[in-house]
Amino acid sequence: MNDLFNARRFLLLLKKTFIERPVQTFGIMGLLLVLSVILYAVVKKIAGFSPAQNITLIWGLAGGGFFLTSFVFGYFGTNANGCSYLTLPVSFLEKWLCAIVIAGILYPVVFLSCYHLIDVIFVAAYHRSLDPTSIFYRQLYDGVFTEDLNGRVAWKIYSLFLTFNGCMLMGGLYFNRTAFIKTAITIASLFLIIWGADWMIANLLFDHVQDAAPYYVTLSIGKETGTLILPTKIEGFFHDGFAYVIPLILWVLPLVRLREKEF
């Protein structure tokens, strides 16, 4: 038997995870889907379809994935559960792959499928409610459409999902108790530090700073405003780093940490 990976052993571990934690896995997943439907309906009523689609996708995929991962892999929340999980007769690679399958494959596929179905139902209901005899019918009809899950906004949210879930996988291994809270506080703290550093550096270099972010600085002089952006190649470098490299590191580091914890 291969000490690093064995398909039968891995499937047994996956089955064990589902059987021992059905509420954390399927119950939380179902709850997140129900809350996503409610959120979509409420935001649509208040702000319209586009905000409802984007907010629901962010909440359900990035936020929901983060929340689900914290429950499914709460093995490390207590010493007893953590030691029990670490001493299972499976390799560290198989434990890591179990996390990847549930948090990185199963949940996104289930959520995106349900989200698209919800989106289609709401948009179709809106289209049916329109008056075909109205002179604004075609304008109103074309103004509301389903979210493009392969579009620019969607890919930004996928990157956010990978980053948040990677952080939670790391948090489950590095924080001994209340990993969800500690990881959320860590993410918020890092965001505030980066945002504060952007403002501080921008104000040191320029006067009349109106806004600052890693990719741009907006200046306001009198009634005029202007935005300074990075050169295309440098902006692309930083964008790829934040969108792909950092999430990849966050998902691979738990594999290293699992190996360390076994010894």
Indicate left, alpha or beta for 208 from its phi (over 0: left) and psi (-120 to 50: alpha). left
24-40 pLDDT, tens digit per residue, is 778 888 999 999 999 99
Q: What is the mean pLDDT of residues 211-216?
A: 76
The better pLDDT of the pair 177, 114 is held by 114
Residue 5 CA to residue 98 CA, distance in Å, equals: 12
Tokens found for residue 198: 């952007």
Residues 6+ apart with CB under 8 A from 114: 33, 36
Q: Is the dihedral angle over the CA atoms 87, 92, 97, 103 positive or is it negative?
A: positive
What pLDDT does 1 receive?
A: 47
What pLDDT does 243 receive?
A: 84
Nearest to 50 by CA among 114, 125, 144, 126: 144
The percent of residues in the chain predicted with pLDDT above 70, rounded, is 91
Residue 64 reports pLDDT greater than 50: yes
Per mean pLDDT, which of 98-102, 123-127, 179-183 is the most reliable?
123-127
Residue 234 reports pLDDT greater than 50: yes
Residue 141 reports pLDDT greater than 90: yes
The pTM score is: 0.84
